[in-house]
Amino acid sequence: MRRRDIRELVIKALFAYEIEKGDPWRQLAYIAEDGEMGGFAEGQEGVFLAGGESDYARRLMGGILEQREALDQVIAEYAVDWEIQRLGGIERNILRLGLYEMLYGEKLPPAIAINEALDLVKKYGGQEAARFVNGILGKRAKARAEERAPAAADGARAEEIAPAAAEEAPAEGDPATTPVTARDAEGSR
C-alpha cells in the first residue's frame, strides 16, 4: 500500500472521529477492516492490518491528534476571519495532515506535503477547497522557508526549500495566495 493510500485512510478515520467523537483508533481499525471504505482490493484488509503500513497510519494519526491544537492555530493564523470549525471536516483534516507532514513527523518537504494534500482535497473536496488548502499550505511553506533562511539572504534559500509551493501557488493577488476571509469564502460557496 502506498503512503498516499495510508494518508487517505487516516483522513477518513479523522473525519469519522470528528463526527462520532468516539475512539479514534477504533475508527481507524473500522475503516481499515472495511475493504470498500478503506480503499483496499478484496482480501487486502488483513495485509494492511498485519503490516508496517498500519504502524505508519497509527503514527500519522497519533501525531495529528497530538498536535491538533497547534495545527489548528496555524490554520487560524492563515485563514483570516474564518473559524476553523466552519471549515468542512474533510478540508480541515486535510489541512491538519498537510501541516503535520510539513512541520512534524517525518517533516516532508513542503512541496510534497502540499501536493499530497491537494491530491486528497481534489478527490474529496472541490476546486474552491483545493485553492483554499493550497493557499493556506503555500503561505505556511513560504513562512517556514523564510524562517529557515538567514535574515540577510536574498531569498534564494526560501525558493530552494519550497519550489513546488511557489510553482503551484497562483500569482500574487490571486485568492489562493492571500489570506481567506469569511466574506471571501461565503461568496464562493
Chain segment 21-31, per-residue pLDDT in tens: 778 888 888 88
**Residues 77 and 165 placed together within one structural domain of the fold:** yes
Cell numbers placing 141: 511553506
**Residues 37 and 57 placed together within one structural domain of the fold:** yes
Q: Is the pLDDT of residue 5 over 60?
A: yes
On whether the CB atoms of residues 120 and 8 are closer than 8 A, the answer is yes
Q: Give the residue-averaged pLDDT of 2-11.
A: 88
**Residues 81 and 48 placed together within one structural domain of the fold:** no
**Residues 110 and 177 placed together within one structural domain of the fold:** yes
* 156 burial via Cβ count (<10 Å: 0-12, 13-18, 19+): exposed
**Residues 31 and 109 placed together within one structural domain of the fold:** no
Cell numbers placing 156: 534564494
Q: What are phi and psi of 110, to 5 degrees?
A: -50, -40
**How many domains, in total, are found in the chain?**
2
**Residues 3 and 60 placed together within one structural domain of the fold:** yes
**Residues 168 and 103 placed together within one structural domain of the fold:** yes
**Residues 189 and 97 placed together within one structural domain of the fold:** yes
Cα dihedral value 22, 23, 29, 35, nearest 10: 10
**Residues 116 and 141 placed together within one structural domain of the fold:** yes
pLDDT in tens, 75-112: 999 988 777 778 888 999 999 999 999 999 888 889 99
- Which of the pair, 157 or 84, is modelled with greater confidence? 84
Boundary residue ending a domain (66, 100, 117): 66
pLDDT at residue 23, as a whole number: 84
* 33 burial via Cβ count (<10 Å: 0-12, 13-18, 19+): middle
Domain carrying residue 172: 67-189
**Residues 134 and 144 placed together within one structural domain of the fold:** yes
**Residues 71 and 145 placed together within one structural domain of the fold:** yes
Distance CA(57)–CA(53), nearest Å, equals 6
Q: Give the residue-averaged pLDDT of 53-81.
A: 90
Boundary residue ending a domain (42, 66, 90): 66
**Residues 39 and 125 placed together within one structural domain of the fold:** no
Distance CA(176)–CA(179), nearest Å, equals 8
List for the chain the helix, strand, coil content (%; round to 5). 75, 0, 25
Residue showing cell 481507524: 28
* 170 burial via Cβ count (<10 Å: 0-12, 13-18, 19+): middle
Lowest mean pLDDT among 97-106, 150-159, 176-185: 176-185
Boundary residue ending a domain (66, 81, 115): 66
